[in-house]
Structure 1
Amino acid sequence: MRILGREDVRTALADLDSTVIDLVRNAYVLHSQGKSDLPFSTFLRPLHRSESRIIALPAYLGGPAPVMGLKWISSFPENVNRGMQRASSLCILNDLECGYPLALMEGSQISAVRTAAGAALASGLLNAGREVRTVGLVGCGTINNQVVHFLTQVHEGLETVLLQDAFPERAKVFAAELAAEYPDVEFKAVTLGQALTADTVSIATTDSSYWLDLADYPSRPDGQVILHLSLRDLSVSSVLGAVNVTDDADHAIREQTSLHKAEQQAGHRRFVTAEIGALLDGTAELPAARTVVFAPFGLGVLDLAVAEAVLNLAEKRGLGTEVDGFDPGSHKVTSNLAGSAA
């Protein structure tokens, strides 16, 4: 089994940067075509930390390069106040023939990258050719850092990014860091109302209180695309008043997401217009709308698609460490029988 630590994964992802959006696109389409097996995620919540959780996401993705495994990811929001990352993760890949483990790798970077790549893919798709010059970021953390990276690939005309955070000083620091990395783009720390005037807005916060009512911000532009990545920020009325796109309705409309709250209030799911895989393969289309919200649950098949590419590159470049002893060994009886038959 190959073990890939944080730096191994970072090196591999840097080399794969230009291909990640395509990996995510292909995974979405394969899932939409029924070429995946995706059980519901399991949520583990510590009794003394109701806001924290660990999630297990088993998945199989078919197609020309099938992959099977598990994403195990924790979210402990209080980590941020201690200078730590909110999320940590491991990704396990299994052999498709015997089920033995092939690789164990640090997974939080894969999770962040595939989340952001999926968001950028959705922004390009849902803006339907409209030029995006301004982006708003609500929440100044790891996910939106990656979102900026991939949005600059998808929207080459991007001029200004407006940053807002519950802690304004974080937005100022984040703006300065991004300005140094992307000198051709202007970054401004702003109020929430100002951030919501952007063509596309990415929401990635640790607030799960359904606190944001879009009706309170009438100056938002027509056709605005909102990337609701943290899933529990928008009010029910905001969801019901928008055209909604998700990655998989059965997965996204549960565990008290904003979509789930809307279903509970409305008594139906008809407010979800389409899933992104169907839009990508042309089997669904969107009506014109003042606001389009993309609220992806975050499918494990995306992580596996990127993790498989990371493993393949790691094997070619000699990244990570090969270790023995992580398989159960041979079967005492049948291995002898097989040897006799030979």
Structure 2
Amino acid sequence: MTTQTSIQPFHVVPGAAVKNILNGLRQDAIELVAQTYLTHERGETVNPDSYFLRFPEQPANRIIALPAAIVDSEGDQSVSGIKWIASYPDNIKSGIPRASAVLILNDPDTGYPYALLEGALISAVRTAASAVLGAWWLNGQNKRAPRLSIVGGGVIARNILETFISDDWSFDRVEIHDLNTESAEALAAFAEQLAVPQVQIVPLADALNADIVVFATSAGEPYVKGNGTFRPGQIVLNISLRDIGAEIIEESYNYFDDVTHCLKANTSPHLAEQKYGHRDFVTGTVAQLIRGDLQVSRDKPLIYSPFGMGILDLAIGRMVHDIAVKEGQAVAIPSFFGEERRW
């Protein structure tokens, strides 16, 4: 007898709904990212290499496919899917965001897609949650630092700052640097809306001296170079992955979300591996810090380089989808599949 398996209803979750839901879930997102990292560390995920669609005549532009799956053998949290995210840096010249994305969720039992979500907001929030999570562990599980600097004044930078504040961090001063004056001023104004005590737009050299330095740019190759750039115990959130030179990586403690994924595609750690011919600079993963397998030493700079795995988008996306359906914020698409029975 053939087992009757139903196909889940198909929903679209538009950006307005995604934004509305995520605005109140930034602390939840941090916790969910932490749990997903632990799931990954246990080997209960599938996260292949990202696939980059590039354009020879437009080398700055790219569209990236991130397929992934979370395998929950003991519960009901399994999900698979793919994020399709475009990065077109020149978009900012027209006043629109650099990145745009969609996220597809697939039923782990049938393989049928059951949701299409606006993915750029999810990507930004999961990136910010990962950054703040890493900062917390490298900062001795303390939510205070005298100076935070952010290099880059775009959407990711804005989300990282908002997540820091939503997670009850406190700073005496927030410093901002961007080559684009308008972007720097916009992020500074946003910081003031968040009631940050003191906000300053500073030269790059000053930004590099902060207690916690965040890189959130679209840089394609290192421009911050030189031994001794960062002091022992200084925290560097290497979110955009390609801003700092190989020699800085080599002389620091380096933490990752996933070592194998991050040491590819000419990231700063990958350049260090190519230059020095080893991975001795690898200290461990944020999941190892969470589990207590590693302790943070402070006699070198502390660099956190999260590659940004698709499993994070799936975890956040599933949470957003479930809330959107429950609250009536998702748009049902009846008969999305032309044939729902084989015969």
**Same fold flag (TM > 0.5):** yes
**Aligned partners of 2:338 and 2:285: how far apart in 1?**
40
Shift of 1:292: 0.7
The letter for the 1-side match of 2:270 is: H
- Aligned counterpart in structure 2 of residue 311 of structure 1, from 321, 332, 335: 321
Question: Structure 1 pair 326/167, CA: closer, same or farther in 2 (3 Å)?
Answer: same
Within the candidate set 95, 108, 125, 1:83 is matched to 95
- Separation of aligned partners in 1, 2:336 and 2:273: 44
Equivalent residues of 1:41, 1:57 under 8 A apart: yes
CA contact (8 A) 1:69 1:91 kept: yes
The equivalent of 1:339 in structure 2 is none
The Cα shift of 1:154 comes to: 4.1
| Between 159-168 and 115-124, the greater mean CA deviation after superposition | 159-168
2:141 maps to 1:141: no
C-alpha distance in 2 between matches for 1:240 and 1:7: 43
Q: Deviations over 1:41-89 (max 9, x none)?
A: 1111012111111111111113442221111111111111111111100
Identify the residue that residue 224 of structure 2 maps to in structure 1: 212
Match of 1:189 in 2: 201
Deviation at 1:271, TM superposition (A): 1.0
Equivalents in 1 of 2:252, 2:228: separation in Å?
14
Q: Residues 243-288 of structure 1, C-alpha deviation per residue, up to 9 Å, x if partnerless?
A: 1111111111111111111111111212111011121122233333
Secondary structure of the 2:205 match is: helix
**Aligned position for 1:174:** 187
- Give CA deviations for 1:3-45 in whole Å, capped at 9, x if unaligned: 0111011112123233111111111111011110111111110
Amino acid at match of 1:165: D
Q: Separation in 2 of the partners of 1:74 and 1:253?
A: 21
Counterpart of 1:165 (choices 136, 157, 178) is: 178
Verify the 8 A CA contact 2:212 2:236 in the aligned structure 1.
yes
2:303 matched residue in structure 1: 293
Contact (CA 8 Å) 1:71, 1:92: kept in 2 or not?
Answer: yes
Return the match for 1:115 from 121, 124, 127: 127
State the SS of the aligned residue for 1:22.
helix
Q: Percent identity?
A: 34
Is the Cα–Cα contact under 8 Å of residues 232 and 302 in structure 2 kept in the other structure? no
Letter in 2 for 1:25: A
Asked if the contact 2:232/2:298 (under 8 Å) is kept, the reply is no
Aligned residue runs from structure 1 range 5-154, under 5 A: 5-63=14-72, 64=75, 65-129=77-141, 131-154=144-167
Call closer, same or farther: CA 1:8–1:237 in 2, change over 3 Å.
Answer: same
Q: CA RMSD in A?
A: 1.7
- Partner of 2:131, secondary structure, is helix
Residue 101 of structure 1 contacts residue 326 of structure 1 at CA under 8 Å; is this kept in 2? no
User: 1:139-187: CA deviations, max 9, x gaps?
Assistant: 01110101111122445332210000112343133212321x2224311
Question: Who is 2:7 aligned against?
Answer: none
Q: What amino acid is the match of 2:326? A: K
State the match for 1:261 in structure 2: 271
For residue 97 of structure 1, give the secondary structure of its aligned residue in structure 2: coil
Q: Normalising by structure 1, what TM-score?
A: 0.92
Structure 1, gaps ≥5 residues long: 336-342
Partners of 1:173 and 1:7 in 2: CA distance = 22
Which AA in structure 2 matches 1:171? A
- How many residues align? The count is 330
Q: Structure 2 unaligned segments of length 5 or more: list them.
A: 1-9
- CA gap of 1:326–1:198, structure 2 versus 1, over 3 A, is same
Deviation at 1:214, TM superposition (A): 5.2
TM-score between both structures, scaled by the size of structure 2: 0.92
Q: Which amino acid aligns with 2:216?
A: A
